Structure 1
Amino acid sequence: MELANILRDAARAEALPRFRRLDASMVTTKTSAIDLVTEADVATEEAIKAAITQWMPEALFVGEESVAADPALLGRLADADLAVVVDPIDGTANYAAGLPLFATMAAVVSKGETIAGIIYDPMGDDWVMAEKGSGAWLRRPNGEAVRINVAQKLPMAEMVGTASVGFMPPESRAEVLSNAIKVRMIVNYRVAGHEYRTFASGHTQFVCFNKLMPWDHLAGVLISQEAGAFAARLDGQPYLPHHVDGGLLVAVDLDSWDELRREVFTY
């Protein structure tokens, strides 16, 4: 809860006051037109970093904007005894467009393993979180805690899930989109944090991503696993904090994962 409150305090101090108040000078394109950074991303990460540095000075801090400034920082994650990985505003494109669907996320990594994850929703003012081996929980600032679990298995034709095709190889994108008719619905919220929250809370049957930056996925994968899901890269190997490629599929169970991998996400 200490880390959860750090995320909440930073988002409320830096992200929310700027929401729907950005002008063009406060938004910058990074690698492409759909990869943005705002003044709020930077300020929120700085606030989180300052608080974590004071609270856990021994921890390596790996933030999305910190890595943008110093790419070598990402390479230190695999060997760190203790690290905190942060996405100050997940869903920056939504945030910049004034859409109230974004999140602030953090994961704790110890010796190459994710041991805790938190996804904070600044608009709903609550967290979904997990510690390894302790289940997944929805927690509110008043202390209320509700355990969450993934949905029951469904036939493929009835499955609803989220998938990001924007970072798939162009030749694979058409195949995956064609295969999408085999399930009931595939959507994309442009914010991994809320896609993981929706999945882990039992409202969808799968999530799939191709681009694997640790701040986008470490918290969500651990929370999903603690809620009962099966998660792996598309080659079937476990997803680890230092992985940045290989695709990622998370489903309500192993059988669903196998079926989706074979029939839909064939790239």
Structure 2
Amino acid sequence: MQFNDNDIDWLSDLLAAVAVQEIMPRFRQLGTGDIKQKTSALDLVTEADTSAERVITARLRERYPDAFVLGEEACELDASLLGKLKDAPLAFIIDPVDGTYNFATGVPLFGVMLAVVVNGETVAGIIHDPVGKDWIIGVKGAGSHIRSAFNVRQKVSVAPPAAVSEMLGAISWQFLADPLRSTLARNHAKCKASFGFRCAAHEYRLIASGNAHFAVFNKLMPWDHLAGVLIHREAGGHAARFDGSAYLPRHLDGGLLIAPDKANWQDLRRTLWSE
């Protein structure tokens, strides 16, 4: 079976069903043996992550037997899977629980993310909120919308362009090294205000729906950003790597700055990086 836009609701419903089955029953119910540390005390994996990814992967392979499925936890066990994404005619990229630190500590800010990549290009992105029981969805050429728990669909747009001094934005500090870390920290004070959810799923949702202006990310794993960047772009926004080049599914480094439009991207790049 080939992917087409009519599959978006099926994929969205799959994420929601797995969240009900594998994620929410474990929320605030995890024992110490259900949480494991990966690279740091802020980089965790739980039984909800592994179980949800296993079920989503199995369902995708049943429906799309020829597709490549890349999940965060599978890649943790076999890093060579990352290299296969660029050659896949059809790929699904899964983050079973984005915001695992929040999930593991009982904070209700986490999401399930899925991106669809066709011949090296992201064509759809879905972010499901298991707590709010809704989705933010983007499809290439068709815009982005929020689908409510009651199946009401509402188009979303990024915030209007603004002066940097009036912007609300997020910078992911934990993956930045000095001197850039200190430079961005100092210059972030030139903005109106900051936020940090420790969850790309909710950060992308906030920005794509026009309720914040920008974000800076340094670690570019595909499951963290492909869905969100596509949703943000279809909502009218502009995203690029720190050097101004386009962000593509194969990129794992180079940083990422997302903004309301290209002119604001340039304003932010100039202001936040100024010495």
Question: Structure 2 length normalisation: TM-score?
Answer: 0.95
1:195 matched residue in structure 2: 203
Give the secondary-structure state (helix, strand or coil) at the position aligned to 1:212.
Answer: coil
After superposing on structure 2, the runs of 4+ consecutive aligned residues of structure 1 that deviate more than 6 Å are: none
2:217 matched residue in structure 1: 209
Between 85-94 and 4-13, report the one with greater CA deviation. 4-13
**Displacement of 1:174 after TM fit?**
1.0
**Displacement of 1:207 after TM fit?**
1.3
> How do residues 106-125 of structure 1 correspond to structure 2 at under 5 angstroms?
106-125=114-133
**Displacement of 1:143 after TM fit?**
2.3
> How do residues 187-266 of structure 1 correspond to structure 2 at under 5 angstroms?
187-265=195-273
Unaligned runs of 5+ in 2: 1-8
Identity across the alignment (%)? 47
**Displacement of 1:265 after TM fit?**
3.9
Q: 1:100 aligned to 89, 103, 108, which one?
A: 108
Post-superposition CA distance 1:198-239 (Å, at most 9, x none): 000000111110000000000000000000001100100000
- For 2:225 and 2:257, the matched residues in 1 are separated by 11
**Displacement of 1:150 after TM fit?**
0.4
**Displacement of 1:62 after TM fit?**
0.2
1:68 and 2:73 matched: no
Post-superposition CA distance 1:91-148 (Å, at most 9, x none): 0000000000000000000111000000000000000001100000101243211000
Question: Structure 1 length normalisation: TM-score?
Answer: 0.98
2:92 matched residue in structure 1: 84
**Displacement of 1:170 after TM fit?**
2.7
2:6 matched residue in structure 1: none
1:19 matched residue in structure 2: 27
1:176 and 2:188 matched: no
Q: 2:143 aligned to 116, 129, 135, which one?
A: 135
Aligned length: 267
Post-superposition CA distance 1:47-92 (Å, at most 9, x none): 1011111111111000000101111111000111000000000000
2:5 matched residue in structure 1: none
**Displacement of 1:266 after TM fit?**
5.3
